[in-house]
A and B are shown apart, each in its own frame.
Chain A
Amino acid sequence: MSQVEQNVHPGMNLGYSGDTKHAEVNVFGFWLFLMSDLVTFGIVFAVFGTMTGATAGGPGPEEVTNLHSIALQTALLLGSSFGFSWASLSMKYHDERWRTLGWLAIAATSALGFLVIEFIDFLHWIEIGAVPQRSGYLSALWALVGLHGLHVTAGLLWMGTITAQILRFGLTDKVKSRVTRMGLYWHFLDVVWVGIFSMVFLAGVA
């Protein structure tokens, strides 16, 4: 395979065939899905923006923000994204299933760590009475952070499925195409998280 062909679809190396074309269609469709999902997040962000003052005497941004925890969560989620990048690159340049699976495992563990710490934060919020039923502000906070957490959870389920598929089928064209789409999703969630920590947590205590 020439260098040019290798670079046609970064991370996939599917070669020229009918399948290549359909892989392109799939990835483009997935981009559109992500754009649509970004609108969803944008809407929830906007609702949060209008409700930052609606604390109704309940806990506000100062009470719910623990910057140490947020820093750790950010590091873990960005680390997970970084791990996934290496999984994509190893798929592209080495085409060895164990190497790819190793990086995927790192990405998954890191994301799991993110979820655990987020969960501990949630427990703390419940402890101090910062439950979504308390005020419009807290409803919006839980919905936004929760929606992101739900996306990460779904992503982990997806990553588990892909791992099983790599074990079962190896790095076939179809599986590679799925890893590529999963990568888009995973980095997208990172971008959304950057929005959450800067607009919800940093801006909340600034």
Chain B
Amino acid sequence: MNIFGRLHWDDLKLWEVFHDFSIDSLVASGAAWGAVFAFVALIGWITYLGRWGWLYREWLTTVDHKKIGIMYMIMGFVMFARGIAEGVAMRSHQATALDGGVLSAYHYAELFSTHGTIMIFFVAMPFINGFINYLVPLQIGSRDMAFPMLNQISLALTATGAALCMISLVVGAFETGGWTAYPPFTSAAFDPGPGPDYWVWAIAISGFGSTFSGINYSVTIYKMRAPGMKFMFMPVFTWTALCTGILMTFALPPLTVAAIMQALDRYLDFHFFTNDLGGNMMNYANLFWMFGHPEVYILILPAYGIFSELVSTFGAKRIYGYTSLVIATMSIAVLSFMVWLHHFFTMGNSATVNVAFGIATGLIAIPTGVKVYVWMTTLWRGRIRFTVPIVYMAGFLILFTIGGFSGIILANPSINWQVHNTQFVVAHFHNVLLPGLLFGTLAGVHIWFPKAFGFRLDERAGKITAMLWIVGFCLTFLPLYVVGLMGYPRRSAAFDDPAFVPYMIVCVIGAFILLTAFAGLFATLYISIRNRDRLAVPLGDPWDGRTLEWATPSPPPPWNFPVIPEVVSRDAFAKEKSEGRPYVLPPEYRDIHLPPPTAAGLVIFLATTAFGFAMTWYMWWLAILSVVVVIGWLVMRSFREHEEVVIPAVEVRRVNNAWIEAIQLGKGVNRDHETSSANRGYAASDYLKEGA
């Protein structure tokens, strides 16, 4: 038996362009070469800087929730680069797709499959995981997650999925059945190649990671809140994180089961979803969307949380209708499990079933509408500062409402029969995911970047970038509603109606604007890093924040809080400021115990990536070896007694006293000047007048 299984030299995409030159092979090989060069350049750069030891000690083995959150965000942005590039490639193809197009139909199918898979699982999920990881322990006044090592392992498992997707760009091919990978189209009979196998293992392995994350978030929020923080005192973002954690715990298993059943069909010739011998592909559709629809809310709820924090911080008011916001969040979480069947209204259900799921789907608009009103009423008569997050918020409020309305249209089964599987659907879900999740993420980055790194992002570059995102989104996706109503099917590599062409041209222009907007993010980052001394906010509270994460220095010390805070109300930090007693020295300091660094994540990342790759290419020996490594390592590790990292009380005292002293020497900055270089992160709060 060949030790490389079915892997052959010719499977490397790098050579394709030399064997058979065309635009199609040039794009495929070019992307593969690009990925390889980027990887080699990264390795070379780290080696040149001599940063491997630092990288290992400070990042790869850390269990600090803040660093894990940052690593999630970095992973998200790296994968985002690929997702955007694929989006632009698809739009370029579509602009020429009248009776053909520059890419082959097969390549186009691969593109929309990887684009969807990557954007949902390895961009959107890392973004929300990044925010939840970074913010939740800080907002609830805790030192870390409930299970810090499990947190690192979750990150590792997500990274495995992302790595497998990146490997598929260079070695072999990805599947062509969309991000949902519907069998029997992705079954062994139709597609014996490696593509569906990459999908199966990327999804199954990262699915375990997400389940563990969900458990970790839920337990953290239930059990690790600071004394006095009742549920109804929790910041709204933490509420959304709790609902997301619950959704992840219960919604991911159907996906993992579906992926593994698909693997059993493909590898061992089972008959879950095959066409013959009693297989039933509708089971797959049900399982996938039992996960898939809650997933939509897993992604959007934390974004709602970010927008909720945003309106009260940048409107300088406490949130209006906190209770209804909490109830709305919970309602959405519950309803999200009751709507999955709307993804296949047209696949032969009875009218009664369709009506039930149509009504359930429409119902979700009610709590979502409540939220929109809560945000608007919070902004109403607030002292709004027109900063970058507010620009995103403005774009979000208008565009997301349009996306929501198109969702209500789709929720009606009889209309759905007309527009299902057209570009109208593509328009709808991009219309909720971009203004919702993406704008939320980018606004959140602007809000909490100074917390994480100690300096603000440049406002001007940020505003230009935000406008580019908004304009680019409108041009790229709103025309799709029109062509969808005109009957342009989605996932189709070519069309034959010349009437679509002008719209497709607008779309491709929009796509390039989105690409520019993506570059704008890096320009913003570059400009901000260059001016980081002028933008520095080490004192930790640049926006006159209301929740506990702002009551720490920027960046916060590894132990988050010198002593665990006592919470007596909602908006705990705003309350302290209104009572004129923020930044008080604690009466005594104690030694702080933190969990030790561990290589668990690294070992599991390497072993599971090897496992996924080995299974895809039928290298059975390597697959078995990697399973043995994972199990053996975990068992061995459980025998080791781990020393905790102890931060001595004097060290905590030194750090905290230095910070408080700097605040007492500093001059508070009024929020009218918070975007000037006078802002060092010490807000001159006027909550005193407001009475918070």
Contact = CB atoms under 8 A, between A and B. Distances in A.
Contacts of A133: 268-271
A161 B253 contact: no
A40 B272 contact: no
Interface stretch (A2-10, A44-52, A86-94, A195-203): A44-52
Contacts of A25: 146, 219, 223-224
Interface string A164-178: 110010000000000
A98 B359 CA distance: 61
Contact of A24 (B223, B253, B271, B276): B223
Interface stretch (A29-37, A103-111, A113-121): A29-37
Q: How large is the interface on A (under 10, 10 to 19, 20 to 34, 35 or more residues)?
A: 35 or more
Given A35-B250, A47-B287, A132 B268 contact: yes
Given A28-B223, A56-B277, A36 B253 contact: yes
B249 A135 contact: no
A13 B147 CA distance: 22
B152 interface: no
A161 B636 CA distance: 9
A40 B253 CA distance: 5
Contacts of A51: 272, 278, 280, 283
A143 B265 CA distance: 11
Contacts of B283: 47, 50-51
B261 A47 contact: yes
A54 B274 CA distance: 12
A124 interface: no
A39 interface: yes
Nearest to B269: A133
Interface residues of B, number: 39
Contacts of B290: 43
A61 interface: no
B354 interface: no
Contact of A29 (B216, B254, B268, B269): B216
Nearest to B212: A33
* B224, B256, B272: most-surrounded residue (chain A CB, <10 A): B272
B271 A43 contact: no
Nearest to A36: B249
Given A25-B146, A32-B249, A143 B280 contact: no
Nearest to B291: A43
B268 A137 contact: no
Interface string B234-278: 000000000000000110111011000100110011111010111
6 contacts: A36-B249, A36-B250, A50-B283, A132-B269, A135-B277, A157-B631
Interface of B: 146-147, 211, 214-216, 218-219, 222-224, 249-250, 252-254, 256-257, 261, 264-265, 268-272, 274, 276-280, 283, 287, 290, 631, 635, 638-639
Interface of A: 24-25, 28-29, 32-33, 35-37, 39-40, 43-44, 47, 50-51, 54-56, 58, 132-140, 142-143, 157, 161, 164-165, 168
